[in-house]
Amino acid sequence: MIDLILLGTSGTIPLPGRPLSSVLGRVGPELILFDCGEGTQVSMRRWGWGFKGLSAICLSHMHGDHVSGLPGLLLSVANAGRVEPMDIYGPIGTRIVVAGLRVIAPRLPYEVRVHELTTSDGLDWNGTTIATLPVDHAIPCLAFRLDLARTRRFQPERARALGVPIEEWKLLQQGRSVTVDGRQVRPEDVLGPARRGIRFGYVTDTRPTSEMPEFLADSDLLVIEGTYGDPADAENAIANKHLLFSEAAEIARAARARQLWLTHFSAKLLEPAQYTLEAARIFPDTTIGQEGLTTSLRFDDEAAPTPSPGSTA
Amino acid sequence: MIDLILLGTSGTIPLPGRPLSSVLGRVGPELILFDCGEGTQVSMRRWGWGFKGLSAICLSHMHGDHVSGLPGLLLSVANAGRVEPMDIYGPIGTRIVVAGLRVIAPRLPYEVRVHELTTSDGLDWNGTTIATLPVDHAIPCLAFRLDLARTRRFQPERARALGVPIEEWKLLQQGRSVTVDGRQVRPEDVLGPARRGIRFGYVTDTRPTSEMPEFLADSDLLVIEGTYGDPADAENAIANKHLLFSEAAEIARAARARQLWLTHFSAKLLEPAQYTLEAARIFPDTTIGQEGLTTSLRFDDEAAPTPSPGSTA
């Protein structure tokens, strides 16, 4: 399961009641943050997911509204007692910006490891895989994807049919082959078909690109910037390298995603919801983001917990 | 007149509903900011005094909670259209911190001039004088004082008695001497007694020091940190170089100030008002600060404006 919360929805400028755009994810006890503008730590505190478990920060690009909250957040993570290393992922240029901002957070009780990325498919984080895709902004900018793979199901009836003694099932479950009466039995002989995992995609500060649909294919949730709602802002979207609501929705449709949350609204976009249909007519399961919007992405046959029955006394 | 607004009251950590401690001042169209933590620009936007007129930022010291909002604020001032220079005043170390934080605000449409100060009595800002006093914190830290001097009143009856022609009164009012029938008449011959000006003092992140009462003498308003309310925190106050409410009140009393606002509350101090009496028993005109607390400091015989009479139709 991946829990996700939108910590803010503002682009460029943090507004009263509309913090800068940022997403916090949780897998087990560990947290991963996507972008960290001025005030992101305040939203994190408001929603109560904690700071100590934050082990990865993914920065889309080095514009202030996406990184200005970094030194304060690093200090709050230190105050929360973290001593384990923290990984920061971002595009070329991340190292010098983190170093500059750390002028006010030079000494931390944990190691900060900065990784400058371009295209990457294979970063391990806490049992998930982080992938990145360069997108089209005024400066180097990355889209991020987080995949939680699902193991294939072990099928005891097949193990039994192949004569594997029950005490050797665990080896097969661990991915090792065993030998039965001189025949090799491989894990794939006793595992069921591949199962769909969980995929989350985060795209901000970009024009649409041709690589996006494949990179984001079949996502359970996409959080995509929609700086402008009004189609009349198309020229601004092109000039400033941002997206219209309709363009974000087209990306979600092309990627065959399940859900879309829009975020990173222009300060001039006072009521984003008035443009909901601009997106929903293209991609129906669109939600206009707001601070605190939360979901839990689950494997397909994992039911959401039901409330425990109350006392009937 | 000096208008002042408290933009936040939190020490160390910006909390939901309690922004970091900061004070904004206004003299005519120009603004002066005292400390700029993460989120200070959000409070500035909430209270609507604008950004373009911000011409001076006074930074008490280089801990993150007092400077982390600087790059975002500088960008917002740029967005508001400022092209005139901006002066930043702070202790030794300010230059390197501003340079580091400006990694995300490297190009601005106005000049940023950083001034590293120790003791200073004579900085001109917008018709006022900024003075600084080193205080006692873990790193170099300054208290600030803002003085708006008042001119002596021109007394026409004395000018008349000395035979100064009315067309030469203006020269005396401008501070120049004139000659009447071979005698010199100096400005002080026709000006009334010295008049009390307006004084504001800002003191944060320090233990009490012996120089404070004189430096802050006769202030109209003191904003002083009160990190701890409970007298049981006396050892923490000493160890962490902060003040108890009672110690802030003692400074205000010794300085014979007119009003005291407390700010910079520890995150553990959930209800600062419960310790009001700790300060008020020492200095009665104490106010527990809160975001948005505002006052206008006026010359003594300048009345506050009265509401204009409504239509009686």
Facing residue for B16 by CB, picked from A45, A75, A103:
A45
The token duo for A68 is 């200005």
Per-position pLDDT tens, chain B of length 313: 999 999 999 999 999 999 999 999 999 999 999 999 999 999 999 999 999 999 999 999 999 999 999 999 999 999 999 999 999 999 999 999 999 999 999 999 999 999 999 877 789 999 999 999 999 999 999 999 999 999 888 999 999 999 999 999 999 988 899 999 999 999 989 999 889 999 999 999 999 999 999 999 999 999 999 999 999 999 999 999 999 999 999 999 999 999 999 999 999 999 999 999 999 999 999 999 999 999 999 999 887 776 666 544 4
pLDDT in tens, A176-207: 999 999 999 999 899 998 899 999 999 999 99
The token duo for A88 is 């920061």
Percentage of chain A beyond pLDDT 70 is 97
Q: Which residue, B289, B254, B258, is CA-closest to B272? A: B289
What average pLDDT score do residues A146-170 get? 92
CB B226 within 8 A of CB B265: yes
The contact set of B with A (CB < 8 A) is 12-16, 37-39, 41-43, 45-46, 62-65, 67-69, 71-72, 75-76, 79, 96-97, 99-105
Give residue A173's pLDDT: 87
Domains of chain A: 2-150+196-297 (3.60.15.10), 156-190 (no CATH)
Q: So what's the ipTM on this one?
A: 0.87
- Please identify which of the residues A65, A205, A220, A233 carries the catalytic annotation: A65
Residue A130 has pLDDT above 50, yes or no: yes
According to DSSP, the residues that pair with B130 across neighbouring strands are: B123, B146
Distance between CA atoms of B216 and B220, rounded to whole angstroms? Answer: 9
Contacts of A81 in chain B (CB under 8 A): none
The token duo for B168 is 């030469």
Cβ–Cβ of A105/B64 closer than 8 Å? yes
A65 is catalytic: yes
Contacts of A96 in chain B (CB under 8 A): 103
Number of helices followed by number of strands (H, E) in chain A: 11, 16
Q: Which of A61, A68, A70, A291 would you mutate first to test chain B, the one with the most B CBs within 10 A?
A: A68
According to DSSP, the residues that pair with A116 across neighbouring strands are: A90
CB A43 within 8 A of CB A22: yes
Contacts of A38 in chain B (CB under 8 A): 38-39, 41-42, 68-69, 72
The CA distance from B70 to the nearest CA of chain A, in Å, is 9
Residue of A nearest to B77 (CA): A13
CB A176 within 8 A of CB A280: no
Distance between CA atoms of B162 and A274, rounded to whole angstroms? Answer: 74
The token duo for A41 is 């730590």
CB B4 within 8 A of CB B297: yes
pTM here?
0.90
Q: Which of B22, B96, B103, B266 would you mutate first to test chain A, the one with the most A CBs within 10 A?
A: B103
The token duo for B292 is 């948005």
